[in-house]
Amino acid sequence: MASLLRDPLSHFLLIAAALFLIWPLISDRVAPPPNQITIAPPQVQRLIAVFYKTHLRMPNADELSALVEAEIRTEIYYREGIALGLDRDDEIIRRRIAQKLQFMTQDVADRQTPTDTDLQQFLDTHKNQFGAEPEFAFSQIYLNPDRHGDKIAQDAERLLIRLNTSDGRIDYAADSDPLPVPNDFELTSVDGIANVFGEAFAKALTELPAGRWVGPIRSGFGAHLIIVRDKREATTPQLSQVRDAVVREWQAARRDEANADTYRDMRAKYVIKVELPPERGGQPNEGAKK
Amino acid sequence: MVRSLLSPAARVSIHREKGHCAKVGILAALLAFTAVSSGVCADKPAWIRTDNTTRNAPTTPKPSQTVDGKPYSRPTDKSHAQHVFWGDTHLHTQNSFDAGLFGTRLGPADAYRFARGEEVISSSGVPAKLRRPYDFLVVTDHAEYMGMTYSLLEGPPELMNDPIGKKWYDDFHSSDPSPLFTVNGTDIMNGTHTLKNDALARSGWQRALDAAEKYNDPGRFTAFIGFEWSSTPQGDNLHRNVIFEDGADKAGQVLPASTLDSQDPEHLWKYLADYEKKTGGHALAIPHNSNLSGGLMFADKTFGGKPLDRAYAEARAKWEPVAEIAQSKGDSETLPMLSPDDDFISTERWDKTNIMGNHIDTPEQQPFNYLRPALNRGLKYEKKFGINPFKYGFVGGSDIHNALSTVDANNNFGVNYIGEPGPERLKVAPAILNPETKVGMSFVLDMQSAGITGVWAAENTRQSLFEAFRRKEVYGSTGPRMTVRVFAGWHFKPEDATRSDFADNGYANGVPMGGDLSGAQAGQAPTIVVQAAKDPDGANLDRVQVVKGWLDAKGDTHEKVYDIAWSGDRKAGADRKVPLVGNTVNVKDATYSNSIGTATLATEWTDPNFDRTERAYYYLRVIEIPTPRWTTYDTVRFGGTLPDSVPATVTQRTYTSPIWYTPKPAA
């Protein structure tokens, strides 16, 4: 722990934190002298507001001047404390500063506005996220293994021949065993099919030829004869059709990336050494504190 | 997404013709499907068309659905529920104060993204993606101090200018934020409001509204607006989840009801009534964890201590159509001490104390903590008042607090930050013992990987799903996505259970789960037809059971569990109970085999002990074969020894909403 605090990471955080905390004081001056303390109007307003909340009246001149003096005193003690490095071994300050910087650097992407080019690129590389999955229209006849037993392959074969040679009429009541899912599916996404029949079935179905009864294909329920009636290849929707969704996902992706980048960049500035205590029994943290 | 079960008449013509968008639209309405292709108009030929205008269209179901005896008068879809939609009615994110304090760093937007199948990075830094996305999600963050940890991280002026807010900020950023846990706990237990700040409350609610609006995608994914009202008087759980049918234009006109304003459920119902009056919108409340209510949830007196009366029964029946029967903190169906003849009561029980663990349940309190005894007593109240205050359908919810709803035992992402996957989670999580009672449950180990709700609806929209909740055409599962369809009526025949137009026939001649039967003729008895299918990627089914409760002429209630369908050639014993299905779980490898049980069960059952003068209800329980508990999967995945405080195997199950019988038509 102590070695971590000696490394440059804490110094960087310190600088960032100091910048953050002091920024209101210096924001209207590009480079104020290091020993200058400015109490700006927003700060005074905050002091007054806090006073008002407690006393339910405005402070008089003396009171206000006392408030400002207290603020200056805090600032001076703060700066001197920093100069002495008092923050370094303080876990509370360390954590608070780290959290603050994390908070500042996160979610920045939410505020960015993507261009059409950004969005088009994102759409091209994330087609599946925007309803462009391949879709299949099909019908299925269910054969329950408990009902057909050993004859299931035979029964399936016989039924297949009849289905493919008759006039296309289907009698689900006679041929399909009871299952509380539909026999006929219009164009349905592979995910949608997987939700009803399971993943293995959905995958198998995507590879079937269209236009004739085939099978049996296995699902979690048993065996199925299938006819794929229509197939829509995965297409990229027009940006105009899915713009809101793309903006949403673009921002989410940017945010994750930005958060990761920020941390990676910062981390790249450091040489990090982790020295684990020698392996031995006893308490997990024994030795870590030295 | 899924087009389905056309009635035979409508299925006739399957032929090729040029695609016409208008016809796709008609077909869509007719079949009541939604989604993908209805929004994409194809220029190329489509394959399935029906000439529905000249032939008999599928019978529009007659209004067999009633809510408390009255026809449900809200606008209904053109066709009945064709498809079961799956989702979670109960999920917390960082927007909940407790979850934020526990370390959850994913918000409502992340929760919706994850539920609809996108990858997110969990609070503990692990990429997570749901294998099978949900159809809908309700994010139900606690109303009390909603969004507080966002404010505590950011330190906005409205927080920092408030002396209490400033203190909370300091506590939060200290190495020991436990004072915040304490103040949140005591405020919720005592109904006190330590930090009252409308601006902060509004910003938390706005975050919830924005996320739901952003991710709601009619036809594809429903993002409901909701919150949890967390009344916990003296540590007893009276929590309710509130779901809005509406968008932010209406739900944004109010702030969530908070127990810091009142702990009385009647206050919440008034809030809901006021909301509907003010906005013209619709909302409902779902009680949960009655098992942790210290005997309060289904008590025979009001929160104020008065006996129940008709007005109370009316309000409760109106605003609370369904209750949560399965969730991570146990099932709330019943207990062995309450239902001694029932061999299949869930082993996932939190039955020792109230939710805060600060008092131990007495045997006298238990009947008021569970749904089955509440349904029983509801029959008595209905006889007395003409309306049943405990007329609950069933849902499942996860109550997960890390924004990631996962309910599969072999894919359990944990209920909170400390419970996220890793080799440590089984070790670091002993029971938290309450200092007063010395009793407690582990918020990791004792959590079950549950639950989830199946909704029978015409389409995947807020309106269509909400209406299904109102009419109780919903069911709760401990995790597996079993498809269960049930109808009750007077004229069903054995062959009706296996017809291919099962649903059309069911709606035409009976009522679905959540419905009402009344006024049996002499010699008649209710007949139930059911079709159940296993989770396509899960374990086989063991059996289907009917749970019947009834009120006799003397005013006593009774209950009985009937095995009505089961796998294999097992024979019921003299006690009419079907022997156990067996157990294929290999605990050492965390595996099971579908060599026992069956994929589907379908049957017809007529009540053998029916008395047409007695009030009754019937609900179904569908039981899976035994499978490994999530802790068993964890032991294999991460190594270590099996915890001995929890069972190694479980029987996952589904509870359908009941169907009620009343001797004469309700007033």
- CB distance B485–A180 less than 8 Å? yes
Contacts of B487 in chain A (CB under 8 A): none
Alpha helices of B349-431 — where are they, by DSSP H? 371-385
CA distance A178 to chain B (A): 5
* DSSP label at residue B260: T
Residues A141 and A49 in one domain: no
Which of residues B267 and B12 earns the better pLDDT score?
Answer: B267
* 3-state DSSP percent of chain B in helix, strand and coil, to 5: 25, 20, 50
**Residues 6+ away with beta carbon under 8 Å from B255:** B143, B198, B201, B202, B205
- Asked if pLDDT for residue B651 goes beyond 60, the answer is yes
Residues A248 and A227 in one domain: no
| pLDDT value for A24 | 56
| Omega within 30 of 0 (cis) for the link into A114 | no
In a domain, residue A7? The reply is: no
pLDDT in tens, B55-67: 233 333 333 333 3
Which of residues B338 and A74 earns the better pLDDT score?
Answer: B338
Query: Total structural domains in chain A?
Result: 2
Residues A158 and A112 in one domain: no
Neighbours of B308 (CB within 10 A): 18
Do strands B136-139 and B83-91 pair parallel, antiparallel, or not at all (unpaired)? parallel
Contacts of A248 in chain B (CB under 8 A): 214-215
Percent of chain A beyond pLDDT 70?
78
| pLDDT value for B177 | 79
Percent of chain A beyond pLDDT 90?
21
CA distance B502 to chain A (A): 8
**Is A278 within 8 Å of chain B by CB?**
no
CA distance B405 to chain A (A): 17
- Asked if pLDDT for residue B77 goes beyond 70, the answer is no
Classify residue B181 as exposed, middle or buried by CB count within 10 Å of its CB (0-12, 13-18, 19+).
middle
Q: Identify which of A137, A178, A220 has the shortest CB distance to residue B531.
A: A178
Give the range with max mean pLDDT: A176-180, B18-22, B654-658.
B654-658
Q: Is B139 helix (H, G, I), strand (E, B) or coil?
A: strand
Quick one: which of B296, B308, B263, B446 has its CA closest to B369? B296
Q: Identify which of B46, B173, B483 has the shortest CB distance to residue A95.
A: B173
**Residues 6+ away with beta carbon under 8 Å from A160:** A213, A214, A215, A225
| pLDDT value for B8 | 31
Considering only residues 431 to 450 of chain B, which have any Cβ-Cβ distance to chain A shorter than 8 Å? Answer: none
Domain span holding position A70:
26-131+237-290
- Asked if pLDDT for residue B455 goes beyond 80, the answer is yes
- pLDDT-derived band at A285, boundaries 50, 70, 90: very low
Contacts of B162 in chain A (CB under 8 A): 53
- Asked if pLDDT for residue A290 goes beyond 60, the answer is no
Q: Identify which of A53, A96, A180 has the shortest CB distance to residue B483.
A: A180
Residues A242 and A115 in one domain: yes
| pLDDT value for A16 | 57
Whether the Cβ atoms of residue B405 and residue B88 lie closer than 8 Å to each other: yes
Residues A104 and A138 in one domain: no
Q: Which residues pair with A249 in a beta bridge?
A: none
CA distance A28 to chain B (A): 20
Buried b (16+ CB within 10 A) or exposed e, B78-112: ebbbbbbbbbbbbbbbbbbbbbbbbbbbbbbbbbb
Quick one: which of A92, A84, A71, A82 has its CA closest to A25? A71
- Asked if pLDDT for residue B15 goes beyond 90, the answer is no
- Asked if pLDDT for residue A286 goes beyond 80, the answer is no
Considering only residues 65 to 104 of chain A, which have any Cβ-Cβ distance to chain B shorter than 8 Å? Answer: 91-92, 95-96, 99, 103
| pLDDT value for B67 | 37
Residues A73 and A103 in one domain: yes
- Asked if pLDDT for residue B242 goes beyond 90, the answer is yes
ipTM: 0.74
The residue count of chain A comes to 290
Considering only residues 56 to 95 of chain B, which have any Cβ-Cβ distance to chain A shorter than 8 Å? Answer: 82, 86
pLDDT in tens, B387-432: 999 999 999 999 999 999 999 999 888 888 778 888 878 876 566 7
Mean pLDDT for B224-243 is 97
Q: Is B644 helix (H, G, I), strand (E, B) or coil?
A: coil
Considering only residues 464 to 523 of chain B, which have any Cβ-Cβ distance to chain A shorter than 8 Å? Answer: 481, 483-485, 497-503
How far is Cα A123 from Cα A113, in angstroms, rounded to an integer? 16
- CB distance B536–A219 less than 8 Å? yes
Question: What is the sign, positive or negative, of the torsion defined by CA atoms of B418, B421, B424, B425?
Answer: positive
Contacts of B485 in chain A (CB under 8 A): 180
In a domain, residue A174? The reply is: yes
Domain boundary among A211, A232, A253: A232
How far is Cα B403 from Cα B479, in angstroms, rounded to an integer? 17
Lowest mean pLDDT among B99-108, B264-273, B374-383: B99-108
| CA B52 from centre of chain | 36
Whether the Cβ atoms of residue B349 and residue B290 lie closer than 8 Å to each other: no
**Is A261 within 8 Å of chain B by CB?**
no
In a domain, residue A46? The reply is: yes
Q: Identify which of A173, A197, A249 has the shortest CB distance to residue B500.
A: A173
Dihedral in degrees, nearest 10, Cα atoms B32, B33, B39, B43: -90
Alpha helices of B280-365 — where are they, by DSSP H? 310-319
Q: Identify which of A135, A176, A222 has the shortest CB distance to residue B37.
A: A135
Question: What's the 3-state SS for A233-289?
Answer: CCCCCCHHHHHHHHHHHHHHHHHHHHHHHHHHHHHHCCCCCCCCCCCCCCCCCCCCC
Considering only residues 2 to 41 of chain A, which have any Cβ-Cβ distance to chain B shorter than 8 Å? Answer: none
| pLDDT value for A81 | 83
Contacts of B217 in chain A (CB under 8 A): 245
* DSSP label at residue B579: P
Residues A34 and A126 in one domain: yes
**Is B42 within 8 Å of chain A by CB?**
yes
- Asked if pLDDT for residue B299 goes beyond 50, the answer is yes
In a domain, residue A67? The reply is: yes
- CB distance B161–A188 less than 8 Å? no
In a domain, residue A9? The reply is: no
Quick one: which of A238, A242, A204, A239 has its CA closest to A220? A204
CA distance B264 to chain A (A): 32
Quick one: which of B20, B122, B85 has its CA closest to B417? B122
Residues A32 and A126 in one domain: yes
| pLDDT value for A27 | 52
Whether the Cβ atoms of residue B474 and residue B453 lie closer than 8 Å to each other: yes
Mean pLDDT for A237-246 is 85
Both structure tokens of B239: 């929590």
CA distance A230 to chain B (A): 6
| pLDDT value for B109 | 96
Both structure tokens of B373: 């005894």
Which of residues A174 and B616 earns the better pLDDT score?
Answer: B616
Contacts of A198 in chain B (CB under 8 A): 536-537
Contacts of B538 in chain A (CB under 8 A): 220
Which of residues B174 and B570 earns the better pLDDT score?
Answer: B570
In a domain, residue A21? The reply is: no
Contacts of B160 in chain A (CB under 8 A): 46
- Asked if pLDDT for residue B601 goes beyond 80, the answer is yes
Contacts of B87 in chain A (CB under 8 A): none
Residues A104 and A248 in one domain: yes
- pLDDT-derived band at B1, boundaries 50, 70, 90: very low
**Is A195 within 8 Å of chain B by CB?**
yes
Percent of chain B beyond pLDDT 90?
73
In a domain, residue A84? The reply is: yes
Q: Closest residue of A to B12, CA-based?
A: A169
Contacts of B493 in chain A (CB under 8 A): none
Q: How wide is the angle at C-alpha A132 spanned by C-alphas A129 and A135, nearest 5°?
A: 125
How far is Cα B329 from Cα B292, in angstroms, rounded to an integer? 9
| pLDDT value for A204 | 95
| pLDDT value for B28 | 30
| pLDDT value for B650 | 97
**Is A236 within 8 Å of chain B by CB?**
no
- CB distance A220–B538 less than 8 Å? yes
Residues A40 and A118 in one domain: yes
Whether the Cβ atoms of residue B398 and residue B88 lie closer than 8 Å to each other: yes
Q: Identify which of A178, A222, A245 has the shortest CB distance to residue B602.
A: A178
pLDDT in tens, A133-152: 788 999 999 999 988 989 99
- CB distance B599–A198 less than 8 Å? no
CA distance A30 to chain B (A): 25
- pLDDT-derived band at B147, boundaries 50, 70, 90: very high
Contacts of A101 in chain B (CB under 8 A): none
Q: Identify which of A185, A191, A252 has the shortest CB distance to residue B113.
A: A252
Residues A112 and A175 in one domain: no
| pLDDT value for A275 | 80
Lowest mean pLDDT among A82-91, B79-88, B607-616, B653-662: A82-91
Quick one: which of B384, B393, B375 has its CA closest to B298? B375
Question: What is the sign, positive or negative, of the torsion defined by CA atoms of B22, B26, B31, B35?
Answer: positive
Domain boundary among A232, A250, A266: A232
Residue type, B80: H
CA distance A180 to chain B (A): 6
Residues A64 and A107 in one domain: yes
Give how far Cα A186 sits from Cα of A212, B33, B47, B490, Å.
16, 9, 9, 34
Mean pLDDT for A105-116 is 72
Whether the Cβ atoms of residue B391 and residue B322 lie closer than 8 Å to each other: no
Output the average pLDDT for chain B: 86
| pLDDT value for B567 | 95
Domain boundary among A204, A232, A260: A232
- CB distance B40–A46 less than 8 Å? no
H or E element: which one contains A114?
Answer: none
| pLDDT value for A18 | 59
- CB distance B214–A196 less than 8 Å? no
In a domain, residue A154? The reply is: yes
| pLDDT value for A289 | 34
**Is B14 within 8 Å of chain A by CB?**
yes
Size of interface A-B (CB pairs under 8 A): 154
CATH number for the domain harbouring residue A168: 3.10.50.40
CA distance A221 to chain B (A): 5
Question: What is the sign, positive or negative, of the torsion defined by CA atoms of B125, B130, B135, B138?
Answer: negative
Mean pLDDT for A93-112 is 69
Classify residue A183 as exposed, middle or buried by CB count within 10 Å of its CB (0-12, 13-18, 19+).
buried
Beta strands in B5-147 (DSSP E): 66-67, 70-71, 83-91, 120-121, 127-128, 136-139
| pLDDT value for B27 | 29
Beta strands in B156-265 (DSSP E): 222-229, 240-244
Dihedral in degrees, nearest 10, Cα atoms B652, B657, B662, B665: -160
